[in-house]
């Protein structure tokens, strides 16, 4: 699979990241089969979080991949911390350090390739985050750092104190959840599409060389189901199916190819636990939609142009 550089880190990563949030829904030998398939496809970048399955997803993955020193050299592991179920969010130094130690134990590894701060913490003290990052980096427990679901102003605040570059920002983005793209197209217009709801995060990340990792690339709304095959999006599905037929691939492949066509060099995070759909996602890395096809899909989703 082709690779991109993750932010300013110099770390070459697959253009598709494998999300493991639902791996605890698999049973028997299914987790092992899924992970093996991902590796065979060259999709060796696995995205985790300490809260996924209450920590069980990291443990299941470690067992499925047969974690060992030789295996560890072949995979890239990203995990997230900061969500405390039943409480809220916590970016305190102590919580970050404790969370990383927990993830290391569950993943059966000595280091994490990328650690993301998961959801913004209203009580964040960036000085504490900087201290935690320094400790983790100096000890070798974490090699690179990033954020998730954060606006430019908050990232700038972290950058003021954190020495390590912010490598990635994981954000919800799909054909039907594309406000970060649409609002810039409506600049200087009086319609609702022109409202800046995220601080121009797309342009900011491109300027700062921060890799955007789209999560839920097939979701409509906030976990309201996928748009593919959804009766609420007849025009979109008709257009995707038409273009899929042209390339002799699935609708999943075209929906993923739409994201990969953007020049921001996104690294979408898949959420599927279906090996067939994972294969379809990976096939998108070999397709480059034309400008006309990209805009046709964009408009078919209900997005508009000024």
Q: What is the pLDDT of residues 214-232, one digit of tens each?
A: 999 999 977 789 999 999 9
pLDDT averaged over every residue in the chain: 97
Question: DSSP assignment, residue 196?
Answer: -
In the predicted model, is pLDDT for residue 129 greater than 80?
A: yes
Q: What is the pLDDT of residues 246-281, one digit of tens each?
A: 999 999 999 999 999 999 999 999 999 999 999 999
- H-type alpha helices, the chain: 30-40, 56-65, 69-72, 93-107, 126-139, 152-161, 179-185, 201-208, 234-247, 251-260, 275-283, 291-300
β-pairing, 88-89 vs 112-118, is unpaired
152, two tokens: 């430019």
Task: Quote the pLDDT of residue 62.
Answer: 98
Over range 122-138, report the average pLDDT.
Answer: 98
Q: Are 229 and 237 in contact (CB under 8 A)?
A: yes
The domains located in the chain, with CATH, are 3-300 (3.20.20.100)
Over range 300-304, report the average pLDDT.
Answer: 95
Q: Which band of pLDDT confidence, cut at 50, 70 and 90, is reported for residue 87?
A: confident
In the predicted model, is pLDDT for residue 4 greater than 90?
A: yes
Task: Quote the pLDDT of residue 175.
Answer: 97
Task: Quote the pLDDT of residue 224.
Answer: 80
| Residues carrying an active site annotation | 52
In the predicted model, is pLDDT for residue 288 greater than 80?
A: yes
Q: What is the pLDDT of residues 199-217, one digit of tens each?
A: 999 999 999 999 999 999 9
């Amino acid at each position: 699979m082709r690779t991109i550089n993750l932010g300013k880190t110099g770390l070459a990563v697959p253009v598709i990241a494998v999300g493991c949030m639902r791996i605890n829904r698999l049973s028997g030998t299914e987790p092992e089969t899924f992970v093996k398939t991902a590796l065979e496809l060259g999709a060796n970048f696995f995205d985790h979080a300490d809260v996924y399955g209450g920590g069980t997803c990291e443990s299941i993955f470690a067992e499925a991949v047969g974690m060992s020193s030789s295996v560890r050299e072949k995979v890239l592991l990203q995990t997230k911390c900061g969500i405390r179920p039943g409480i809220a969010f916590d970016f305190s130094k102590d919580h970050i350090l404790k969370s990383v130690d927990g993830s290391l134990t569950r993943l059966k590894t000595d280091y994490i390739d990328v650690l993301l701060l998961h959801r913004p913490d209203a009580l964040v003290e960036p000085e504490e985050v900087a201290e935690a990052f320094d400790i983790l980096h100096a000890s070798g427990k974490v090699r690179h750092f990033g954020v998730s679901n954060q606006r430019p102003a908050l990232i700038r605040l972290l950058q003021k104190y954190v020495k390590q570059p912010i490598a990635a920002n994981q954000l919800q983005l799909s054909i039907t959840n594309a406000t970060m793209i649409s609002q810039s197209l409506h600049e200087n217009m009086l319609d609702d599409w022109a409202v800046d709801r995220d601080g121009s995060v797309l342009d900011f990340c491109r300027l700062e060389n921060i890799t955007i990792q789209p999560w839920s690339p097939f979701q409509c709304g906030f976990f309201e189901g996928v748009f593919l095959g959804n009766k609420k999006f007849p025009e979109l599905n008709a257009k995707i199916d038409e273009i899929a037929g042209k390339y002799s691939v699935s609708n999943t492949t075209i929906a993923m190819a739409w994201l990969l066509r953007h020049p921001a060099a996104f690294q979408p995070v898949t959420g599927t636990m279906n090996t067939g759909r994972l294969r379809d996602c990976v096939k998108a890395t070999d397709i480059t939609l034309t400008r006309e096809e990209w805009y046709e899909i964009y408009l078919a989703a209900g997005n508009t142009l000024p």
